[in-house]
Amino acid sequence: MMAAAVTSAAGARNTNTATIALAGPTAPLGAWPNLGDWVSFTVTFPKQLESKNVRIQVACYQNGNLVYADAQTYTASFELGGSASQWWSNGGGATCVADLYYWGGNGSFNWLATTQFTAGS
């Protein structure tokens, strides 16, 4: 499992501190996470953003091609690959990026933090 903060050029940046990290499994599972596993994230962000509907978007890629994406509230769990995606069809591993963000009142995308991890097949 690799979880590291990376920089993203997408959207406006909030100057307050926010973090996102892949939350580990509750029991040792060997190689984790994998296609079909449920993952969640540990996040921090300024309390004043609580009312802004802070969300997480997970996007996974194989050879630079998007094969899975989902966006939900920051408290949600994500099934890697979903129930039907190109990743399910292809199988194999993927490189995934999870972005913590919220939409501003004017429809602007406000990026807060990013983490990247590798998921197996």
Render pLDDT for 73-88 as a digit per residue (tens, 0 to 9).
999 999 999 989 999 9
DSSP assignment, residue 63? T
Q: Dihedral of CA 1/95/99/16: which sign?
A: positive
Render pLDDT for 17-64 as a digit per residue (tens, 0 to 9).
999 999 977 655 667 899 999 999 999 999 999 999 999 999 999 999
Provide the domain limits for residue 66: 4-119
With tokens 């997970």, the residue in question is: 58
* pTM of the entire predicted model: 0.83
The CATH number of the domain holding residue 54 is: 2.60.40
Q: How many domains does the chain have?
A: 1
